[in-house]
Amino acid sequence: MIDNLKAFAAVVDTKSLTKAASRLYLTQSAISRRIQQLEETVGGALLDRNQRPPSPTALGRRVYEQSLPILRAVADLISLTRQDAAPTGTLRFGMSQAIGDVIMADAVEHLAGEFPTLDVRVRAGWGDGLAAQVGAGDLDAAIIMLPAGTRPEAPLIGRNIATVDVAIVQSRSRRLVRQAVRLADLAKQDWILNPIGCGYRAGLESAMGERGGSVRVAIDTYGTEVQLRMIASGLGLGLVPRSVLQASASRDEIAIVDATGFAMQLDIWLIHLKEFGNLKRAIEALAATVAEGFAHYDAAVQRRRKSLRGSGRGSAAARRRVARRRASALPRAYAE
């Protein structure tokens, strides 16, 4: 039926059996046979064959007009499976909270600019929950964080698009830790962390558990920026990827704690359940935006480290010297 409709529509469009046959890579006899089969199906003549070129009858005109949306829908359906086709329809993707804090706005803006006809739906959450939604078919894809060296569980598939270093942080002006410490010595400090379900909170709890300690969570809240503002106020220690800290408005108010024996890396994964079809280009653009964003912030972190080493500001002794110079420059009343 669809092939017969295509043949009839091609004849009406081109006003020629020969041109219709050329368009569909068929012989003229094949075009004629398909139109005859369509006429038998609808029970009437569709072409007035007494005219040259053949023109649609009144019934033929109505069938032609009704066939156009059907043929477009079929073409759209076929294009859904073609990975090189322009993205259409709805893209449902998830993004881990910590990743979204850094890059979600840029990612959505980029998708809207490059694929203006695509209906983009975004969902933030924890990695485990987003992975479950991808597995259930509720999301087309998600970008999540996993412990370094691990992979998404089957049947999910995907690829690692970036790796981030996680640091323990505190207030720069109201330090809770004054020198290098063992991780176990931080067990009694107040912590400001994401609720249970966060990957790097779980990593910290595991590391503390291995050393006989436990994490004392003073403030259990969502949102990296909210946490960093409270950390900057001296309300507790926290965990944050260095690249996320670099992107934060609070970065100059935050200091990294030198905790011996602590090293945490997280891999950023693009995960999905099935092939993307015509959503491939949009999802690849999304993954590229995230990878490039984190690469940009990681490069800024490295430049900042080199700058601190070059200026001598990175050492505790140098910071004490700066503090003494500042104190000596104050009026006596303030210095006392």
pLDDT digits (tens, 9 = 90+) for 256-285: 998 887 888 888 999 988 777 778 888 889
Q: Which CATH class is domain 90-318?
A: alpha beta
The amino acid at 36: Q
pTM over 0.85: no
Q: What is the mean pLDDT of residues 205-219?
A: 70
CATH 1.10.10.10 intervals, the chain: 2-79
pLDDT at 86 over 90: no
Q: Which CATH class is domain 2-79?
A: mainly alpha
Q: What is the pLDDT of residues 148-203, one digit of tens each?
A: 888 888 889 899 998 888 899 999 999 998 888 888 888 889 999 888 767 677 77
CATH 3.40.190.290 intervals, the chain: 90-318
